[in-house]
């Protein structure tokens, strides 16, 4: 990626959305491989943030739905 195409997130809502994307990636790795994130219990963080219920796979599915519902608005902005 060239420097003129770099992304910069400065708005608080954009920074929060990037955090959600990071949680999705970490939870996805935990579901697919069984590996654990070393610093944060991602499942607990997502459950606390959104109130989702269920096991890792169910919470990941709910998180993906949440992201997909908000992603078009972020891309169009």
34-74 residue pLDDT tens = 998 888 899 999 999 999 999 999 999 999 999 988 876 65
Task: Give pLDDT tens digits for 9-41.
Answer: 888 888 898 999 999 999 999 999 999 888 889
Q: Residue 46 has what pLDDT?
A: 96
Residue 1 has pLDDT above 60, yes or no: no
Q: How far apart are CA 20 and CA 49, in angstroms?
A: 10
Element (H, E) at 20: helix 12-33
Residues 51, 64: Cα–Cα separation, whole Å:
14
Q: Which domain holds residue 39?
A: 10-76
Would residue 2 count as lying in a domain?
no
What DSSP element (H or E) covers 67? helix 56-76
**Is 28 within the bounds of a domain?**
yes
Query: Which among 33, 24, 27 has a CA at the least distance from the CA of 55?
Result: 27
In a domain, 44, yes or no: yes
- Number of structural domains the chain divides into: 1
Distance CA 13, CA 63 (A): 17
- What is the reported pLDDT for 13? 87
In a domain, 4, yes or no: no
- pLDDT, residue 10, reads 86
5 occurs within a structural domain: no
Task: Report if residue 16 sits inside a domain.
Answer: yes
């Amino acid at each position: 990626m060239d420097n003129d195409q770099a992304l910069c997130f400065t708005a608080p809502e954009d920074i929060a959305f990037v955090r959600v994307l990071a949680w999705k990636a970490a939870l996805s790795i935990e579901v697919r491989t069984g590996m654990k994130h070393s610093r944060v219990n991602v499942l607990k963080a997502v459950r606390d943030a959104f109130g989702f219920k269920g096991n890792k796979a169910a919470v990941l599915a709910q998180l993906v739905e949440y992201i997909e519902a908000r992603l078009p608005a972020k891309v169009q902005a």
